[in-house]
Structure 1
Amino acid sequence: MKDFKKLYFVIIIILFLSLNSCSKTKTTYLPYETAKNINSILVLPFEICSENSESFFYCPVKEVISGYVEPSAKETLNRLLKKFLSNYSSHYNFIFLSENEFENIISQILEETKNPAEIIKELCKKTNTQGVLYGRIYRFIERKGSSFSIVEPASVAFALVLYDGETGKILWMEEFYETQKPLSENILNIKLYGKLKWLSAEELAERGLIKIFKTFPLK
């Protein structure tokens, strides 16, 4: 039995190393005609998707299932997003809106239009930006238990969308949805989880952003 456990962990380590060695990500770029006009991107605070909420932003997710969202989810994801965007400060100038600032601006715009594309264009006009980055939270459930023994694993689902401020159209979009599973059920997830432990919702969300930002388009 001990020999089997040793073999199991050796296999895990080998798979982990091989996956990392093959994980080269191809850099993506915006088309030149679009990129040359985008210098500043407006970053909106994350929005929570719920049955009772109405969104004025087009976000065509496909397979995400909504669920419970922890009260701390917005603050956590806004903080993590700001951290990740700092890696792209040499490509874009990011303008961050607080919740109050966003509510004040969007209320003014909604008096004139409720068309998603027009809302994007008006947001950019009012903030002197050329693109809008929008995030929507579908699920953010904290694990129940510790990092080594859980009753219920963390579960996170969110999407990020980059809109063109000139046309209001989507330039880039990625979604992440994951409920942590035991490695015995899916050994390939070790690349995502990064550690042989049960992640918190914040740790899982951070790994989701790492995955998503591999395709974030550059100028």
Structure 2
Amino acid sequence: MVPSLQRDVCRKVKIFIIHYKETLLKTLLHAILIFTLILLASCSSKAPTMTEEQKQEAAQSVASIAVLSTTVYLSDVSPEKKKELTAGAVFVDTRIQEELTGNAKVQFVGDRQQYKEFPEVDGGLKETALSIGKSFGCDAVLVPTLERFVERVGSNMSVTSPASARFSLVLLDTQTGQTIWTRQFKETQQSFMSNILAFGKMQERGLKWITVEQMVGQAIKEQLADCPYL
């Protein structure tokens, strides 16, 4: 082999080795990044939890809880949105009842099979809720509010539009009017590719696209189980 050809071959081999090393390094760094993000997702941050003693004190401080029907705000919304929210309120009421039936502290207010709004007194929803709680002789009143309840468009395997929901649970002390416990839920399901931090939640759900009822039902179950006053 002539010297010039040898030099050319050696140069190309060196270039190939350098390129291979760079590609391998980039791939390795990318894999480390993905692993780190997945680890962070699996260790999602949670609010500080109460000690067992604090939970017992909270439970003993509230002997009875009035549970209101879910409130939705239907003014200035389209007929389609109104239909979604009304159906969603019925579902939320049903799930809350399923979770709390048998709890001696709880008194359900209103028809649990049919959505209806409570007439408001001066002061808006909060004062209305407190008035109802007091009329039932309860120490606290649970106020569910639903703001979004959108069904997925698609199937378990693929969607053109994912499920999306937003609601809150607020527990008010009927004597002081103060909020003693609250939880908010807001989610539009995302794919792993669009949000790598959603991997942990997707894994819990079986790596599939869920319905809005599945999403909200699981959230209600988890949040009520986390309430120390119930």
TM-score of the aligned structures, taking structure 1 as reference length = 0.67
The letter of the residue matching 1:197 is K
Shift of 1:36: 4.1
The equivalent position to 2:144 in structure 1, one of 129, 132, 135, is 135
Bigger Cα displacement from structure 2, 115-124 vs 180-189: 115-124
Q: Quote the Cα distance in structure 1 between the aligned partners of 2:178 and 2:44.
A: 36
Residue 164 (structure 2) pairs with residue 172 (structure 1): no
Higher relative helix content:
2
Q: Quote the Cα distance in structure 2 between the aligned partners of 1:200 and 1:103.
A: 24
The equivalent position to 2:49 in structure 1, one of 20, 26, 32, is 26
Match of 1:172, SS state, is: strand
TM-score of the aligned structures, taking structure 2 as reference length = 0.65
Q: Deviations over 1:13-61 (max 9, x none)?
A: xx58x927998972474694x75442110000111134449xxxxxxxx
Residue 196 (structure 2) pairs with residue 199 (structure 1): no
Distance 1:82 1:192, change over 3 A: farther
Partner of 1:115: 123
The letter of the residue matching 2:106 is F
User: In the TM superposition, what are the counterparts of 1:32-111 in structure 2 within 5 Å?
Assistant: 32=57, 36-52=60-76, 68=81, 70=84, 71-86=86-101, 89=103, 93-99=105-111, 107=119
Distance 1:216 1:95, change over 3 A: same
Match of 2:201, SS state, is: helix
Partner of 1:64: none
Which has the higher relative contact order, 1 or 2, with Cα contacts under 8 A spaced 6 or more apart?
A: 1
Match of 1:79, SS state, is: helix
Partner of 1:148: 157
Bigger Cα displacement from structure 2, 72-81 vs 155-164: 72-81
Bigger Cα displacement from structure 2, 162-171 vs 186-195: 186-195
Shift of 1:68: 3.5
Partner of 2:24: none
Q: Quote the Cα distance in structure 2 between the aligned partners of 1:210 and 1:20.
A: 20
Q: Quote the Cα distance in structure 2 between the aligned partners of 1:182 and 1:161.
A: 30
Q: Quote the Cα distance in structure 2 between the aligned partners of 1:38 and 1:207.
A: 25
Q: Is the 8 A contact 1:44 1:102 kept in 2?
A: no
Match of 2:66, SS state, is: strand
Q: Quote the Cα distance in structure 2 between the aligned partners of 1:190 and 1:77.
A: 26
Q: Is the 8 A contact 2:170 2:183 kept in 1?
A: yes
Match of 2:135, SS state, is: helix
Q: Is the 8 A contact 1:158 1:177 kept in 2?
A: yes
Q: Deviations over 1:96-124 (max 9, x none)?
A: 122499979x55xx5xx513565444322
Match of 2:146, SS state, is: strand
Percentage identity across paired residues of the two chains: 24
